[in-house]
């Protein structure tokens, strides 16, 4: 795992955790450019997506490594955490099971309920992602992803060196993650972002909202999973600034 830091080290720190199949800079590069003069940005390059030859193992493993880094360098405290998809699940694990504190937590969608058919689904998704990142996806792969997620990632959106093992482990981890005791999040200002075309993420939002009524929910509009972040970065950064500055 690699950490990248930008901006003024004395400013409030925002921890950003990217999603499955992606990279930290590819996901949050625009946000870094817009925020680095006002905030200190800490990007987490997850195992399997960090050019070190590592392999993604589990949500729990990633949260432990981030917690250790934050304890050593930030006394376990940051101003805000932004987790995109799988990154949001890692953020929940981080804040609920480790002595890490954040005033604000932003979840950019994400599965929040275990699937009964996790293994076969993880294999299907891993095969599809490998084809997509290599530019070899057929119409069935693209239409399938768009049907399930509301948006089909482009090759340039994905980490070209990700292995099938890393992608499978990532998807399986998301599909089998059991929500922990979320009591530690009670006093955290939380926001959940989603698009109307990602039904599984909407299900995750409703589950969390039932447990954390104070959580704010923001529907970006008629978009799919990751679409606003990748194709409409101005809208994404405006929503982020709105949360950070209030």
What is the per-residue DSSP string for 165-215? HHHHHHHHHHHHPPP---GGGTTSEEEEEE-TT-HHHHHHHHHHHHH-TT-
Contacts of 32 (CB under 8 A, 6+ apart): 6, 7, 25, 41, 43
Q: What pTM, to 2 d.p., does this model score?
A: 0.96
Q: How confident is the model at residue 215 (pLDDT cuts 50, 70, 90)?
A: very high
Q: Summarize the confidence of residues 184-200 as an average pLDDT.
A: 94
Quick one: pLDDT at residue 110? 87
- At residue 158 the predicted structure's pLDDT band, cuts being 50, 70 and 90, is very high
To the nearest whole number, what is the mean pLDDT of the chain?
Answer: 95
**Interval 99-150: pLDDT, tens:** 999 999 999 998 888 888 999 999 999 999 999 999 999 999 999 999 989 9
CA dist., res. 123 & res. 65, Å (int): 26
For residue 246, what pLDDT is reported? 81
**Residue 14, H or E segment:** strand 13-17
Q: Output the pLDDT for position 185.
A: 95
**Residue 22 in contact with residue 43, Cβ under 8 Å?**
no
Please give the pLDDT value at position 165: 97
Distance of CA 132 to the CA centre of its chain: 19
The residues that bridge with 141 in the sheet, in sequence order, are none
pLDDT band, very low/low/confident/very high, at 81 (cuts 50, 70, 90): very high
Sequence-ordered alpha helix ranges (H) in the chain = 24-35, 59-74, 86-97, 118-133, 139-149, 164-176, 199-211, 227-231, 233-245
> pLDDT tens digits for 16-59?
999 999 999 999 999 999 999 999 999 999 999 998 999 999 99
Average pLDDT of the segment spanning 143-163 = 94
pLDDT on residue 115 = 87
Cβ neighbours of 128 (radius 10 Å): 23
d(CA 96, CA 100) in angstroms, rounded, equals 8
pLDDT (0 to 100) of residue 113? 85
Percent with pLDDT over 70 in the chain? 100
Would you place residue 60 in the very low, low, confident or very high pLDDT band (cuts 50, 70, 90)?
A: very high
């Amino acid at each position: 795992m690699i950490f990248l830091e930008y901006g003024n080290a004395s400013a409030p720190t925002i921890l950003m955790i990217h999603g499955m199949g992606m990279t930290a800079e590819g996901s949050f590069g625009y946000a870094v450019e817009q925020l680095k003069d006002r905030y200190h940005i800490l990007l987490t390059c997850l195992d399997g997506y960090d050019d070190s030859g590592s392999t993604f193992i589990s949500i729990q493993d990633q949260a432990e490594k981030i917690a250790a880094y934050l304890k050593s360098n930030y006394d376990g405290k940051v101003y805000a955490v932004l987790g995109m998809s799988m990154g949001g699940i890692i953020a929940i694990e981080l804040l609920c099971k480790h002595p890490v504190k954040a005033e604000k937590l932003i979840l950019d969608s994400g599965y929040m309920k275990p699937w009964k058919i996790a293994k076969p689904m993880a294999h299907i998704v891993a095969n599809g992602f490998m084809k997509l990142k290599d530019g070899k996806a057929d119409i069935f792969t693209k239409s399938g992803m768009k049907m399930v997620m509301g948006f089909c990632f482009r090759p340039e959106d994905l980490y070209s060196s990700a292995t099938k093992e890393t992608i499978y482990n990532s998807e399986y981890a998301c599909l089998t993650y059991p929500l922990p005791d979320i009591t530690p999040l009670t006093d955290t200002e939380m926001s959940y972002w989603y698009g109307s075309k990602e039904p599984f993420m909407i299900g995750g939002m409703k589950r969390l909202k039932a447990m954390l009524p104070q959580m704010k929910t923001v529907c970006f509009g008629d978009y799919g999973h990751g679409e606003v972040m990748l194709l409409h970065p101005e809208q994404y950064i405006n929503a982020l600034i709105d949360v950070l500055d209030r």
